[in-house]
């Protein structure tokens, strides 16, 4: 394969990636009830800092018209800061021989399509798994948002009743929890052989979203074997998230960098394909702790609950709830 052909290959890679990624995002957002939103908006800098006014409902008080006039305690008009964080990732290097395509008389466009789709799936899986790991860590760190019925193998699994108990933590706002997130194993525990009757709305990169049924208590079920949904502290556990709209928002960093290099000197010419990318992550009602978690965090730092500070007065204004039970 001539060097001029590799230039053509390089020119075709980025348009394929840019076209495929927004398509996948739009389908997932709609099917998941917008609880986990993957957005193509740009994210600049290490952090995105937002501020908003704190709730003032605590300023309401009862007045005794028959009592002497006294001093009323003032409620400060104050703002809350909520921080999103930028995360960096990479794909590759992928090593191949240009002569492999010419040997099989394959068109260059076929290799471009495969590389673009593979990166698209990998990027979306990374964004989704990172969002879920962060949600699990943040929500599990708040006792009032956690229904934990596991007990080192002597507790119970996550049953329909325990899902209901977990959703009940939102009280009169439980209907705001628009989707459940769980592993395939947990999904089987809940619905057994009735899975055949679920309507498959969307599937990409090993992640499926199925229609809301009685088994999801009227909510869509996001089925993905994300590592964070399986706990292994003492004995294996299953974790189910109940999320409301905008529980996690992932924003594209707008800086996908793809490089292709062809190397001589070996018995055959070799080419490497490599991509760097970033994206931002924000959780509803939680603020990334810049001092504790730092910038460009690792997977372990993102999955540390204390790095996500709950900034809301009520859990009803946060991402959602978590239900934890023993694995079967």
Q: Buried b / exposed e across 250-262, counting CB within 10 Å, b at 16+?
A: bbbbeebebebee
Q: For residue 283, what are the CA distances in angstroms to 9, 222, 287, 302?
A: 38, 18, 7, 11
> pTM of the predicted model, to two decimals?
0.77
pLDDT in tens, the chain (328 residues): 444 444 555 555 555 555 565 655 666 777 788 899 887 766 666 556 565 555 555 667 777 778 788 777 766 555 566 788 899 999 888 777 777 766 656 654 566 667 777 888 888 889 889 999 999 999 999 999 999 998 865 678 888 889 999 999 999 999 999 999 999 899 888 875 344 445 555 566 667 666 665 567 778 888 888 899 998 766 789 999 999 999 999 988 778 888 877 888 888 887 777 889 999 999 999 999 988 988 889 999 999 999 999 988 899 999 999 999 988 7
Give yes or no for a contact between 158 and 323, defined as CB atoms under 8 angstroms apart: yes
Distance of CA 318 to the CA centre of its chain: 15
């Amino acid at each position: 394969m001539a060097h001029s052909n590799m230039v053509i290959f390089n020119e075709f890679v980025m348009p394929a990636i840019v076209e495929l990624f927004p398509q996948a995002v739009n389908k997932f957002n709609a099917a998941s009830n917008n609880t986990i939103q993957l957005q193509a908006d740009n994210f600049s800098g290490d952090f995105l800092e937002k501020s908003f006014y704190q709730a003032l409902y605590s300023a309401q008080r009862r007045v005794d018209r028959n009592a002497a006039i006294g001093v009323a305690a003032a409620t400060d008009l104050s703002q809350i800061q909520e921080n999103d964080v930028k995360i960096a990732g990479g794909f590759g290097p992928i090593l191949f021989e240009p002569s492999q395509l010419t040997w099989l008389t394959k068109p260059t466009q076929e290799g471009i399509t495969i590389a673009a789709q593979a990166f698209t799936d990998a990027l979306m899986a990374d964004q989704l798994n990172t969002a879920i790991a962060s949600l699990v860590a943040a929500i599990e760190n708040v006792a009032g948002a956690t229904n934990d019925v596991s007990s080192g193998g002597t507790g119970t699994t996550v049953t329909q009743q325990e899902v209901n108990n977990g959703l009940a933590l939102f009280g009169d706002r439980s209907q705001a929890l628009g989707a459940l997130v769980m592993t395939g194993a947990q999904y089987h525990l809940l619905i057994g052989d009735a899975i055949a009757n679920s309507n498959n709305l969307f599937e990409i990169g090993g992640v499926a979203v199925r229609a809301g049924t009685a088994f999801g208590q009227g909510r869509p079920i996001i089925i993905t074997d994300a590592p964070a949904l399986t706990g292994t502290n003492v004995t294996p556990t299953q974790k189910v998230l109940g999320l409301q709209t905008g529980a996690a928002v992932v924003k594209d960093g707008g800086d996908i960098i793809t490089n292709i290099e062809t190397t001589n000197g070996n018995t055959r010419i070799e080419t490497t394909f490599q991509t760097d990318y970033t994206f931002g992550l924000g959780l509803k009602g939680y603020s990334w702790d810049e001092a504790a978690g730092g910038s460009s965090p690792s997977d372990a730092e993102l999955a540390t609950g204390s790095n996500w500070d709950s900034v809301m007065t009520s859990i009803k204004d946060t991402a959602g709830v978590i239900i934890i039970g023993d694995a079967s």
